[in-house]
Amino acid sequence: MRLFLAIDIPQTIKTSLSQQLNDLQKKHAVFNWVQEQNYHMTLQFFGETQKIKGIIDKIKIALFEQEQFYLYATHLDLFMDKRIIIYVDFNREKSLEQLIKNVRSTFEEEFYETKKFTPHITVSRSSIPSKQQYFHLQKKIRMRNIELEFQVTELSLFESIQNGKKSHYRKIKTFPLLDRI
């Protein structure tokens, strides 16, 4: 199973984000846009593994005394790797930073993560023919503000199921956070 721990975005927020991206999706229909039901914020990627029970037990340890918190989106941004990734960028929150630190230290022996964590929701993946087009797109994307705010009350362990070029995410387990807000 291909597993990851994530913040599942509330449906009202998914709908709002989809509406805010609607005109961009129409202008760039050739891009591979993430389906609304698949919006999430990945916190830890486990990859292909059968160690579900061990992962669940360790997540419970990492989340011990983790309180609920709020996330605030700022704007769209993008980066280029093997392809272009367009994502919603978020303010850095102390609660989220501590959560990431706890999760990564709990899993560092089995699933060591070298990338710096950037809170984001991926909304599109695509290839682009030239660097000029990338820079032109970058200029347009970075001017796009995204207005989202939501309370994180739980985390979810997901299985990623590939169906051709599309992914489907199945929720395996939910982990409620402490309600002290």
pLDDT digits (tens, 9 = 90+) for 110-133: 876 777 899 999 999 887 667 777
Domains of the chain, start order: 2-176 (3.90.1140.10)
- Which pLDDT value is given to residue 171? 97
- Rounded to an integer, what distance in angstroms lies between the CA atom of residue 167 and that of residue 164? 8
> Does the global pTM surpass 0.75?
yes
Short-list 32, 28, 33, 30, CA closest to 136: 28
- Rounded to an integer, what distance in angstroms lies between the CA atom of residue 90 and that of residue 106? 24
- Which pLDDT value is given to residue 181? 61
pLDDT beneath 70: ranges in the chain: 112, 128-129, 181
Short-list 13, 24, 10, CA closest to 144: 24
Catalytic residues: 40, 120
- Which pLDDT value is given to residue 52? 95
Angle formed at CA 42 by CA 40 and CA 47, multiple of 5 degrees: 125
Helix residue spans in the chain (DSSP H): 11-27, 52-62, 94-107, 131-142
